[in-house]
Amino acid sequence: MASTAEILALLKAHADPRNVAGMARFGMSVEGRLGVSVPAMRRIAKAIGKNHRLALDLWKTGLAEARILASMIAEPGALTERQMEAWVRDFDSWDVCDQVCMNLFEKSPLARRKILEWSGREETFVKRAAFALVACLAWHDRGAPDEEFRAWLPVIVRGATDERNFVKKAVSWALRHIGKRNLTLNTAALRTAKALRRLGSKSARWIGADARRELAAETTRQRIRRAAAPGPRRTSASGASSAASARRRSPRATRTRP
C-alpha cells in the first residue's frame, strides 16, 4: 500500500505551475496548489483503488490536489457524519467543494439530510456544498423520484437570495440540473425560475434568468426528449454522455461553473 508521502511525491511529479495561473483566473484558491489536472488525479486514484484510511491522511495534508484525490479513493460506506462535517468546514475553494460532492458525498446515504442542513448554514462553501449536492444528485441519480427534486425547489428559492457569487452559481447549477431531468421537472424548474425573477433580490433575479435561458431553450428540451426516448441510452440532459465521463473532466472543463 502506498504511503501518504509517496502519494504526495506522485502528485508533485504531475505538478504543472502553468495550470495554477489559470485556476486563479477562474476563482479557485491557489494557495499551496500544485496545478495537477483532474484527469491525472483520476489516473492516480485508479491505481490506488479505494482506501479510506489513506484518504483521511491525504485530507489532513491541506493540499487541494491531495484533498480532491482523497475524495476519489474514500469509501462512501465508511463515510461518517462527523467526517462529512469536518471536511465541509475545510472547503476553501469551489472546485474542491464540487469535486468532493461529486466524487464522494453524493454517494452517501447522509447526502439528502446534509442538503437540508447545509443549505441553512452561513459559511460560503458549506452552503455551496448543499446546492452542489442537489445538482450532482439531479445529474447522476437517475432512479430518484420527481417528488424528491420538487421538494428541493423551495430550498433553492430560499438560497437564491444569497448574493455571494460562489453560492448563487451553485443555486443556479442545482436548479438547471433539476430542470434537465425530464419535461415535468423542466416545467417545474421554469416556474421556479419565473418566481425568482420577481423577487427583490439581484441574485435571485440573476439565477432565474440564468436558469430560464438554458431550460427554455429548444435544444435543451430536445435533449430531454431524446434521453427519455426508448432504445439505447443516449446523451443525458446534462449534456454529458454519462456520469463517468463527467467525472473525468479536467479543471478547465469545470471553470465556467464557479
pLDDT in tens, 40-76: 999 999 999 999 999 999 999 999 999 999 999 999 9
Question: What is the per-residue pLDDT across 196-254, written as a single tens digit (0 to 9) for each?
Answer: 999 999 999 999 999 999 999 999 999 999 988 886 544 433 333 333 333 333 333 33
Only one residue has cell 447545509, namely 118
Q: Which pLDDT band holds residue 25 (cuts at 50, 70, 90)?
A: confident
Say yes or no to pLDDT of 4 above 90.
Answer: yes
For the chain, the structural domain boundaries read: 1-80, 110-258
CATH superfamily placement of domain 110-258:
ARM repeat domains (1.25.40.290)
For 65, the grid coordinates are 490536489
Mean pLDDT of 75-91: 97
Helix pair 165-179, 202-215: axis angle to 10 deg: 30
Entry pTM: 0.86
Do 183 and 225 contact (CB within 8 A), yes or no?
A: yes
For 150, the grid coordinates are 420538487
Query: How many alpha carbons lie under 13 Å from residue 85 in its C-beta half-sphere?
Result: 6
Distances (CA, A) of 136 to 105, 130, 139, 170, 195: 9, 10, 5, 11, 23
Compute the mean pLDDT over every residue in the chain, rounded to the nearest whole number.
89
